[in-house]
Amino acid sequence: MSGWVRIAGLGPGNDALITPEVTEALAEATDVVGYIPYVARVAEREGLTLHASDNRVEIDRSQHALQMAAEGKRVVVVSSGDPGVFAMAAAVFEALEKGPAEWRDLEVSVLPGITAMLAASARAGAPLGHDFCAINLSDNLKPWALIEKRLRLAAQADFAMAFYNPRSKSRPEGFVKTLEILRQECDPERLILFARAVSTPEEEIHISTLAEATPEMADMRTMVIVGSSRTRTIERNGNPIVYTPRFTPE
């Protein structure tokens, strides 16, 4: 058996942010599986079968990938960003753990990618230049009470915060509540950054404060970064630079 599964990160959108390791895996693959818009980023070629599936079928997709590998195929599971950050790696391991014992002998590896928060941070400056946390604001897979608890403790810890999946049409209220919680815990002048579709032609970077931010500033393609109390801007022509200094005084 020479099949394998490589769970690969395609980065935030621009092909110049795809690592050579991922490019090589795609070149060796017989099959690619993933969410429709991510599979659409993979070039068709002879000998490669593309299996695009819809959102919320991550376990089915993972089982399919593992089953094909067990049959000797070379399968790349594509995620945007990094596969280990709110993406397909955990789903594949859930499927592997619950699947047939022989799947544990398969060669399964994770190929890291540029995750959205680091691409967004880079475009704005260095807002995550000091201690920070990453929180998925979707309550599809966890209770809202846990999200609220993490938001409050992260604010009390004075972490910068990166929010994945801040807002969708089916969950419009979560980001409203998030802004309310942050306004209770942080100063109104706290910086908040909305980075939409980073590294793509639709990229939009908007820098605001907790006092001025509105829920509509975010959608499902937006990465939201809230600064720590130390995060600051440098004014210049065009967008200011947003960064968090390395030094924190006593």
Residue 52 CA to residue 64 CA, distance in Å, equals 11
Annotate 111-134 with b (16+ C-beta within 10 A) or e (fewer): bbbbbbbbbbbbbbbbbbbbebbb
Nearer to a copy of itself, 215 or 240 (CB): 240
| 3-state SS record for 165-176 | CCCECCECHHHH
Burial of 158 (C-beta count, 10 Å sphere; 0-12/13-18/19+):
middle
Nearer to a copy of itself, 6 or 214 (CB): 6
Min dist CB 31 to a copy of itself, Å, is 21
Min dist CB 166 to a copy of itself, Å, is 14
Nearer to a copy of itself, 79 or 222 (CB): 79
Nearer to a copy of itself, 46 or 55 (CB): 55
**3-state DSSP assignment of residue 116:** helix
Min dist CB 201 to a copy of itself, Å, is 16
Nearer to a copy of itself, 94 or 203 (CB): 94
Min dist CB 234 to a copy of itself, Å, is 5
Min dist CB 75 to a copy of itself, Å, is 17
Residue 173 CA to residue 142 CA, distance in Å, equals 15
Task: Give the chain's end-to-end CA distance (angstroms, integer).
Answer: 59
